[in-house]
């Protein structure tokens, strides 16, 4: 199969995509590189459902609210291309910052109805508007029939779904389950920055989520959060938040469960910020 073709400019990619659309559908997997099994499962799903799949690899500066997080973000295009070389019908878009954000680019933050101020948004101001900005620009270039996002970034999915409605994109948003290592750690590009000991300490995140799920709905969400916090504190990580929220509104549940209750955790392990979530 060989290395996938890499396009670095929007206009060349657009013309390849226009030709492909004459005979089939285009699936899109936006990534920031440092690909892992989770990304590859998105590519597999996209290949099942489309004739051509575009994988973008672009570390988006506008979604980092912390300069060192941006500079430490893992980048390895060659390894990414090797991982993608097992697939047929995949092309890669690896643009420059100037290509994604040309001089005449205009972006007005969209009303995310509190989706961007809660949980991640509270700790990463501006992050979700940065995600919306880049995904809007990427969608405008690729104009995919379907786009694939992982459920690990649960809040990002909610934000993208809202963006698609507000900006009238016709792209269908497809969510795919979180991939985990055998011992439960949610796969993330950031995991490469963890030592072996860090990886083992990080397991407290998924263990806490499973512990909370097993508590069931007999106790109130507040009580389950209290017990979850106590369980989490037996580990070595520093917690940013642990919250049970309604999956649609992202409001914290206290006395009553909703039809779709999700527990979200963000924590720091060896200076690496990790997030995970589980439907309870
Ligand atoms: O989930 C990610 O990797 C990024 O947030 C995305 C969607 C590629 C936008 O930069």
> What integer pLDDT is reported at residue 157 of this predicted model?
96
Contacts of 83 (CB under 8 A, 6+ apart): 35, 40
Is the domain of 101 the same as that of 165?
yes
Q: What is the pLDDT of residue 1?
A: 72
Q: Do both 238 and 122 map to the same domain?
A: no
Q: For the chain, count helices (H), then strands (E).
A: 11, 9
Q: Can you give the pLDDT at residue 191?
A: 95
Instruction: Examine the domain organization and report whether 85 and 158 are in the same domain.
Output: yes
Domain-ending residue, one of 176, 205, 220: 176
Q: Is residue 121 part of a domain?
A: yes
Q: What is residue 49's predicted lDDT score, i.e. its pLDDT?
A: 98
Q: What range defines the domain where residue 143 resides?
A: 6-176
Query: Which residue reads 């492909």 in tokens?
Result: 20
Are 10 and 79 part of one and the same domain? Answer: yes
pLDDT at 236: 96
C-alpha distances in Å from residue 200, one per residue of 96, 174, 191, 208, 274? 36, 31, 11, 14, 13
Question: Does residue 164 fall inside a structural domain?
Answer: yes
Q: What is the mean pLDDT of each run of 10 residues along the chain (280 residues)?
A: 93 96 97 96 98 98 92 94 97 97 95 93 95 98 98 96 97 97 96 96 98 98 98 98 95 97 98 96
Q: Which ligand 1 atom is the nearest neighbour of the CA of 153?
A: 1
d(CA 17, CA 50): 12
CA separation (Å) from 16 to 9, 25, 36, 134, 143? Answer: 11, 13, 26, 21, 12
Pairwise CA distance, residues 265 & 271, whole Å: 16
Does 182 map to a domain? no
* Residues 125 and 226 grouped into a single domain: no
Helix (H/G/I), strand (E/B), else coil: 149: strand
Q: Compute, in angstroms, the gap from residue 145 CA to the centroid of ligand 1.
A: 18
Closest to 25 in 3D by CA, of 42, 56, 55, 46: 46
- Residue ending a domain, among 176, 208, 243, is 176
Would residue 184 count as lying in a domain?
no
Do residues 52 and 145 both lie within one domain? yes
Asked if 71 contacts 109 with a C-beta cutoff of 8 angstroms, the reply is no
Q: State how far Cα 153 lies from the chain centre.
A: 4
Same domain, 155 and 35: yes
> Is the residue at 267 inside a domain?
yes
pLDDT at 122: 94
Count the domains in the chain: 2
Q: How far is the CA of 129 from the centre of ligand 1 (A)?
A: 12
Residue to mutate (ligand 1; options 135, 160, 163; most atoms within 8 A of CB):
135
Is 85 a domain residue? yes
Residue 205 lies in a domain: yes
Q: What tens digit of pLDDT does each residue of 178-206 get? A: 999 999 999 999 999 999 999 999 999 99
Q: What is the pTM of this model?
A: 0.95
* CA distances, 273 to each of 52, 162, 228 (Å): 34, 25, 19
Same domain for 220 and 154: no
Domain assignment present for 68: yes
The last residue of a domain, from among 176, 209, 236: 176
Length of the chain: 280
Q: Which residue's alpha carbon is nearest to atom 2 within ligand 1?
A: 31
- 256 belongs to the catalytic site: no
158 and 28 part of one domain: yes
Q: Are residues 47 and 165 in the same domain?
A: yes
Q: What pLDDT does 25 receive?
A: 98
What is the CATH number for 272? 3.30.1300.10
Measured between alpha carbons, how far is 160 from 162 in angstroms, rounded to an integer?
5
Instruction: Say if residue 230 is in the same domain as residue 256.
Output: yes
The owner of tokens 């509270």 is: 122
pLDDT at res. 79: 97
165: Cβ contacts below 8 Å, ≥ 6 apart: none
Helix (H, G, I), strand (E, B) or coil at 99: helix
- Longest Cα–Cα distance in the chain: 57
Q: What is the CATH number of the domain that holds 117?
A: 3.40.50.620
In the reported structure, the alpha carbon of residue 194 is separated from the centroid of ligand 1 by a whole-number distance in angstroms of 20
Q: Which residues line ligand 1 (CB under 6 A)?
A: 30-32, 60, 63, 131, 134-135, 153, 156
């Amino acid at each position: 199969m060989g290395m996938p073709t890499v396009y670095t400019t929007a206009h060349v990619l657009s013309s390849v995509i226009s030709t492909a659309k004459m005979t089939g559908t285009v699936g899109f997997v936006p990534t920031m590189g440092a690909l892992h099994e989770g990304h590859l499962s998105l590519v597999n799903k996209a290949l099942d459902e489309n004739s051509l799949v575009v994988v973008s690899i672009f570390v988006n500066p506008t979604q980092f609210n912390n300069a060192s997080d941006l500079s430490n973000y893992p980048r390895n295009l060659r390894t990414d291309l090797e991982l993608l070389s097992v697939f047929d019908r995949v092309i890669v878009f690896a643009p420059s910052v100037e290509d994604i954000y040309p001089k005449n680019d205009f972006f007005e933050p969209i009303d995310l109805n509190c989706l961007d101020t809660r949980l991640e948004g509270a700790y990463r101001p501006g992050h979700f508007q940065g995600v919306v900005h880049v995904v809007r620009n990427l969608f405008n270039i690729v104009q995919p029939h379907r786009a694939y996002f992982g459920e690990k970034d649960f809040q990002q999915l909610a934000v993208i779904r809202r963006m698609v409605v507000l900006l009238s994109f016709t792209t269908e948003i497809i969510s795919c389950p979180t991939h985990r290592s055998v011992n439960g750690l949610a796969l993330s590009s950031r995991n490469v920055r963890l030592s072996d000991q860090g990886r083992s300490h990080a397991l407290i995140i998924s263990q806490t989520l499973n512990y909370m799920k097993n508590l069931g709905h007999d106790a109130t969400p507040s009580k389950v959060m209290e017990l979850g916090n106590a369980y989490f504190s037996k580990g070595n990580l520093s917690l940013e938040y642990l919250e049970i929220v309604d999956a649609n509104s992202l409001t914290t549940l206290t006395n009553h469960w909703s039809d779709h209750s999700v527990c979200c955790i963000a924590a720091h392990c060896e200076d690496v910020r990790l997030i995970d979530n589980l439907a309870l």
